[in-house]
């Protein structure tokens, strides 16, 4: 049996849960409600790539580039020097879309194709091996039908796999429900799902983390406690040992 090379996320317990990392070239949904840490975990995945000589590109479809820099700048793992050195690129998807003259609310099939090609070409040109779209939910909103969503994610997945680029797509879902995507399509096309949740405990809202699926590798499905700090960004701790 051959195993695909792994893309180490650099988030320790996640890599061990995945028997070494995400199979390279996978397309992974990072799902969860508001404020659970989707953007932070995804950015950390990109900046950790630098340790492995892998360039990263972050397409934002929710916050402005300035806001991303300001908020992520609060974590030690984020350094604007990475942008200057070209190891990390942050791109505003809607600015590109405007410049291409695409419809601001809803895309037709041709416009969806143009956007897909632009994302693919930028990734290729930059030589990025890690990519994030934050969020796929807001991009899907502009695709008019479930078929268009399926087609878009499928094509994106195949072309990025061919580039051996590992992709994280953040997916916004309502809080405290077991739902992985807004349009019920994204989760079936994605190779993997990482689910960030929250649970109320002693008047506090704790963040949790679970690998729901990851094609091409054996993996655990244990629930972890996810903490966030300026020093270490996102960290996982086993739920059973976390004393809750
Ligand atoms: N420097 C920091 N240290 C520790 N925690 C922080 C820091 N900065 C932000 N946070 C926490 O991170 C949360 C936001 O995380 P993040 O933006 O990654 O979540 P998200 O799931 O992407 O949210 P959204 O659904 O709004 O996109 C904040 O609500 C705050 O609790
Ligand atoms: Mg976010």
The pLDDT of residue 244 is above 70 = no
- Structural domain spans, the chain: 24-194
The pLDDT of residue 231 is above 70 = yes
Domain at 24-194, CATH class: alpha beta
pLDDT of residue 182: 86
Q: Is the CB of 38 under 6 A from ligand 1?
A: yes
pLDDT of residue 1: 56
Whole-number Å distance, alpha carbon 190 to ligand 2 midpoint, is 19
What is the value of pTM for the model shown? 0.95
CB 31, CB 180: distance < 8 Å:
yes
The string of pLDDT tens digits covering residues 157-208 is 999 999 999 999 999 998 777 788 888 888 888 999 999 999 988 889 999 9
Q: What confidence category does residue 99 fall into, taking pLDDT thresholds of 50, 70 and 90?
A: very high
CB 220, CB 17: distance < 8 Å:
yes
Whole-number Å distance, alpha carbon 2 to ligand 2 midpoint, is 35
pLDDT of residue 176: 74
The string of pLDDT tens digits covering residues 13-66 is 999 999 999 999 999 999 999 999 999 999 999 999 999 999 999 999 999 999
Average pLDDT for the chain: 93
pLDDT of residue 4: 79
Rounded to whole angstroms, how far apart are CA atoms 145 and 80? 38
Q: Is the CB of 31 under 6 A from ligand 1?
A: no
Share of the chain above pLDDT 90, in %: 84
What are the DSSP calls for 1-65, one per residue? Answer: ---PPEE--S-HHHHHHTTTSEETT-EEEEEESTTSSHHHHHHHHHHHHGGGT-EEEEEESSS-H
- The helices-and-strands tally (H runs, E runs) of the chain is 9, 11
Q: Is the CB of 23 under 6 A from ligand 1?
A: no
Whole-number Å distance, alpha carbon 187 to ligand 1 midpoint, is 23
Q: Is the CB of 197 under 6 A from ligand 1?
A: no
């Amino acid at each position: 049996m051959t195993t695909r090379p792994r893309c180490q996320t650099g988030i320790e317990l996640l890599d061990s849960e995945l028997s070494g990392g995400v199979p390279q070239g996978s397309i992974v949904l990072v799902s969860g409600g508001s404020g659970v840490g989707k953007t932070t975990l995804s950015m950390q995945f990109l900046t950790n790539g630098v340790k492995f000589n892998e360039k990263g590109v972050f397409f934002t479809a929710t916050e402005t580039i300035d806001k991303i820099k300001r908020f992520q700048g609060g974590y030690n793992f984020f350094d604007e020097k990475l942008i200057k050195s070209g190891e990390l690129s942050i791109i505003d998807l809607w600015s590109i879309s405007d410049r291409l003259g695409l419809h601001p609310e809803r895309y037709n099939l041709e416009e969806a194709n143009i956007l897909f090609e632009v994302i693919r070409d930028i990734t290729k040109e930059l030589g990025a091996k890690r990519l994030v779209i934050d969020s796929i939910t807001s991009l899907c909103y502009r695709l008019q039908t479930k078929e268009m969503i399926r087609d878009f994610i499928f094509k994106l997945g195949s072309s990025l796999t061919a580039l051996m680029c590992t992709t994280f797509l953040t997916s916004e879902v309502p809080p405290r429900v077991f739902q992985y995507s807004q349009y019920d399509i994204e989760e079936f096309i994605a190779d993997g799902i990482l689910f960030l949740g929250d649970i109320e405990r002693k008047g506090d809202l704790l963040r949790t983390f679970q690998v729901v699926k990851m094609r091409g590798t054996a993996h655990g499905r244990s629930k972890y406690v996810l903490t966030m700090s300026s020093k270490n960004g996102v960290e996982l701790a086993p739920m059973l040992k976390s004393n809750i």
